[in-house]
Amino acid sequence: MKEKLSQIQRMAAIVIGFELIVTIALGTVFKMTIWPMILVIVVEVVLLVWCFDYLEKSALEETTTIERVLGKSAMDGYRLAKLGMVVYDENYVVIQMSDLFKDLGIDRIGYKLLSWIPEANDLLSGAADISYVSLDGRVYELTRQEEEPIIFFKDVTDLNQLKDQLKQEKIVIAIAHFDNYEESTLYADEGDIAFINASIRTPLNVYAQEHKMFLRRLSNNRYLMVLNEKIYEELVEDKFSILRTIRKAANAVDVSITLSMAFAKGTSNFLELDEMVTKLLDLAQTRGGDQVAIQTKGEEVQFFGGSSEATEKRSRVRVRVISHALRDLILNSSNVIVAGHKDADFDCIGSALAVAKMTMSLGKDTSIIAKTGGLEEKVSAALEQHLSEFEEEGIHFISENEALNELREETLVIMVDHHNVQQSNGSKVEEQAKKVVIIDHHRRSSEMGVKPILMYIEAAASSANELVSEMIPYVAPKADISPLDASFMMAGMIIDTRQWRVRTGSRTYDAASIIRSYGGDPQVAYGYLKETYEEFQLKNQVMSNAERYEGGIVIALVSQKRISRSMMSQIADQILSVQGSEAAFVIANDEQGLSCISARSNGNVNVQRIMEKLGGGGHLSAAAVQRNDLSIEDLKTQLIQQIQQEGGNRNESDLETGR
């Protein structure tokens, strides 16, 4: 109404101005008497002023005020509580405003509501029940009365400030742990140990003081940290630079010590926080260390860092302890079922064969799930070639349904080369089994889907075969590992180490020596892995169509045909052998039609972190993902976006949110 009156006033002023100009022109040009005409114009002006004044008063009289509806007492209460109301008509024009707005010096009667407060759009459309707007430095919560053209304004500034303050002061419990500390100082003299301690502990103490955290040393390599949400947000903003600082400090004194941290938050129950932070630290370390594991109660685990490859830190003592525990579980079981991952490779089948031979030597009926979940092409060909020999050795390959029929109360299920039931070729068996053991070398994911009674996950190991070969003398020294079994194990190690180029330590070669002593023939193993001429052509074709991106990133999209995951990984390895390539990603549909990525890096790019963001996993330098909800083109788009988000922060600490 107010806007319409303003428009009419402007139009009337233009008309009167025009009349005045014409009158003066007539008097000047034609020498006419203009006083009667000027008198008429003055009368028009007076009448118009009276009319407009009358219309404004009439509009106000016709509009029932909020105060007359609610009463003076109610309005006083609204004003005291800093509540306001705005009434609008069918055209969303403001027709009434409460005294709150008068106190703020705001008068929008006659104006369109959304031109004044665009934030109310979702509220008016029904898309939201509550909206927020900032007026005169205060925050107001907007709600709409159902079926009535009224919006209520509630001042929530103080409440929001209290909420923010309460959130910032919530307790966060953390543990900091120096990885490889005991191994690095085991044979050092006291002077060297003191120097190492000063080099790595001082930065942590300074970091805690700078961020005003409570820090207390629990042991030589472990610290308790107490902080609040505000400080925690500062650490996130800082990208946990202490990881990089400790890494550099350790390199300066020539030791392989890194820092793992765990942060638990989201509850005021200290027992829950203690349980959470302990599990998180274990999770960070089993993923290779040099990273931060974070969890808010009820939410998924997030990871920071993980920028360096895991180093060997398992001891012979731990291998012996784990092996003896496994031996006891086998002896107390009725039978054993060995499960591998889907699209089983040589590492999976080789370790499964070794585990089966150990359990069989202890007198237990053993079966290997290999008829479901798929096999890599070369593994399938090798198994078919030697199937009769395996049958003669007593190896029993079965399907998942057959394994379910063999499952009993005391059955022991051993998962090799994987630790998540979603990746397993026997997930139903693992979920229903009472006793499950995990032997794996992949970085641990936050969810496994089972609760194992024994778990042996070593991310520093090159392969599952490396772990299993070390266990054989302790679990079953009389195990009949045949040259055929050993050759499969050798092939698994060759593939997972990329022909001894990555993830190899002294223990890796020790394990290879053990396998060689069982008759494992490298020449036979390499024979299993030979590629056909068609595969050679395909590799060259894919590589010729690969795209190079900044930072040595190479992405190859295979859209013309389906290829095996094994072939994808081989192509990625070959791309990585090209000078200047830091990371290679091969994207294609596998034989089952899934959209897949096989990722490889030289260690400077954390491909595991990238694959985890896309729903996969693996190692720092070798990872993969399989998706059934995206095309390969869409998967490539998401991959590029994720690489861009990583920002090329190689060897830097970065949030995995999944962060």
Final residue belonging to a domain, choices 116, 140, 162: 162
Query: Is residue 51 a part of any domain in this protein?
Result: no
Query: With contact defined as beta carbons under 8 Å apart, do 340 and 348 qualify?
Result: yes
Query: With contact defined as beta carbons under 8 Å apart, do 554 and 584 qualify?
Result: yes
Question: pLDDT-derived band of residue 478, with 50, 70 and 90 as boundaries?
Answer: very high
Is 386 marked as a binding-site residue?
Answer: no
Q: Are residues 380 and 520 located together in one domain of the fold?
A: yes
What range does the domain containing 515 cover?
A: 316-529
Q: How far apart are CA 121 and CA 241, in angstroms?
A: 43
Q: Is the pLDDT of residue 275 over 60?
A: yes
Q: Are residues 87 and 224 located together in one domain of the fold?
A: no
Kindly state the average pLDDT of the residues 375-396: 93
Is 345 marked as a binding-site residue?
Answer: yes
DSSP state of 121: H
Query: With contact defined as beta carbons under 8 Å apart, do 93 and 73 qualify?
Result: no
Q: Are residues 505 and 383 located together in one domain of the fold?
A: yes
Selection from 75, 87, 137, 85 nearest residue 111 by Cα: 87
290: left (phi over 0), alpha (psi -120 to 50) or beta: left
Q: Are residues 398 and 515 located together in one domain of the fold?
A: yes
Query: Is residue 23 a part of any domain in this protein?
Result: yes
Residue 295: CATH number of its domain: 3.30.70.1230
Q: Are residues 415 and 505 located together in one domain of the fold?
A: yes
Q: In percent, how much of the chain has pLDDT > 70? A: 87
Q: Are residues 433 and 493 located together in one domain of the fold?
A: yes
Query: Is residue 67 a part of any domain in this protein?
Result: no
Task: Kindly report, residue by residue over 454-463, the tens digit of the pLDDT.
Answer: 989 888 889 9
Query: Is residue 56 a part of any domain in this protein?
Result: no
Range picked from 66-75, 201-210, 373-382, 498-507 for highest mean pLDDT? 201-210
For residue 325, the cross-strand partners are none
Task: Kindly report, residue by residue over 422-454, the tens digit of the pLDDT.
Answer: 889 999 999 999 999 999 988 777 678 898 999
Q: Where are the alpha helices (DSSP H) in 530-595?
A: 533-544, 565-576
Q: How far apart are CA 135 and CA 603, in angstroms?
A: 53
Q: What angle do CA 325, 326, 327 make, to 5 degrees?
A: 90
Under 8 Å CB-to-CB from 528, ≥6 apart: which residues?
346, 378, 379, 381, 382, 487, 488, 491
> What pLDDT is stored for residue 350 in this prediction?
96
Q: Are residues 364 and 511 located together in one domain of the fold?
A: yes
DSSP state of 30: S
Q: Are residues 423 and 279 located together in one domain of the fold?
A: no
> What pLDDT is stored for residue 434 in this prediction?
93
Task: Kindly report, residue by residue over 47-62, the tens digit of the pLDDT.
Answer: 777 776 666 665 554 4
Exposure string of 303-322, with b = 16+ CB inside 10 Å and e = fewer, is bbbbbbbbbbbbeeeebeeb
Task: Kindly report, residue by residue over 228-271, the tens digit of the pLDDT.
Answer: 999 999 999 988 999 999 999 998 998 889 999 999 999 989 99
Query: Is residue 181 a part of any domain in this protein?
Result: yes
Final residue belonging to a domain, choices 137, 162, 187: 162
Question: pLDDT-derived band of residue 648, with 50, 70 and 90 as boundaries?
Answer: very low
Q: Is the pLDDT of residue 489 over 80?
A: yes
Query: Is residue 560 a part of any domain in this protein?
Result: yes
Task: Kindly report, residue by residue over 520-566, the tens digit of the pLDDT.
Answer: 999 999 999 888 888 888 888 898 889 999 889 999 999 888 988 88
Task: Kindly report, residue by residue over 596-645, the tens digit of the pLDDT.
Answer: 999 998 878 888 889 988 988 877 788 899 999 999 999 999 999 999 88
Residue 108: CATH number of its domain: 3.30.450.20
> What pLDDT is stored for residue 115 in this prediction?
86
Is 341 marked as a binding-site residue?
Answer: yes
Selection from 509, 468, 502 nearest residue 485 by Cα: 468
Q: Are residues 568 and 603 located together in one domain of the fold?
A: yes
Query: With contact defined as beta carbons under 8 Å apart, do 658 and 615 qualify?
Result: no
Under 8 Å CB-to-CB from 638, ≥6 apart: which residues?
614, 630
Under 8 Å CB-to-CB from 475, ≥6 apart: which residues?
323, 324, 326, 327, 330, 358, 362
More confident site: 92 or 410: 410
Q: Are residues 358 and 422 located together in one domain of the fold?
A: yes
Residue 171's Cβ-count burial label (10 Å; 0-12, 13-18, 19+) is middle
Query: Is residue 545 a part of any domain in this protein?
Result: yes
Question: pTM of the entire structure?
Answer: 0.61
Is 417 marked as a binding-site residue?
Answer: yes
> What pLDDT is stored for residue 186 in this prediction?
79
Average pLDDT score over the chain: 85
Final residue belonging to a domain, choices 470, 499, 529: 529
Q: Is the pLDDT of residue 64 over 50?
A: no
Task: Kindly report, residue by residue over 276-331, the tens digit of the pLDDT.
Answer: 999 899 888 877 788 899 999 988 888 887 655 555 555 677 788 889 999 999 99
SS3 content of the chain, % helix, strand, coil (to 5): 50, 20, 30
Question: pLDDT-derived band of residue 9, with 50, 70 and 90 as boundaries?
Answer: low
Q: How many domains does the chain have?
A: 5
Q: Is the pLDDT of residue 227 over 50?
A: yes
92: left (phi over 0), alpha (psi -120 to 50) or beta: left
Query: Is residue 69 a part of any domain in this protein?
Result: no
Selection from 367, 310, 311, 378 nearest residue 340 by Cα: 367
Q: Are residues 510 and 382 located together in one domain of the fold?
A: yes
> What pLDDT is stored for residue 260 in this prediction?
93
Q: Are residues 17 and 95 located together in one domain of the fold?
A: no
Is 441 marked as a binding-site residue?
Answer: yes
Centre a 10 Å sphere on the Cβ of residue 395 and count the other Cβ atoms it contains. Answer: 23
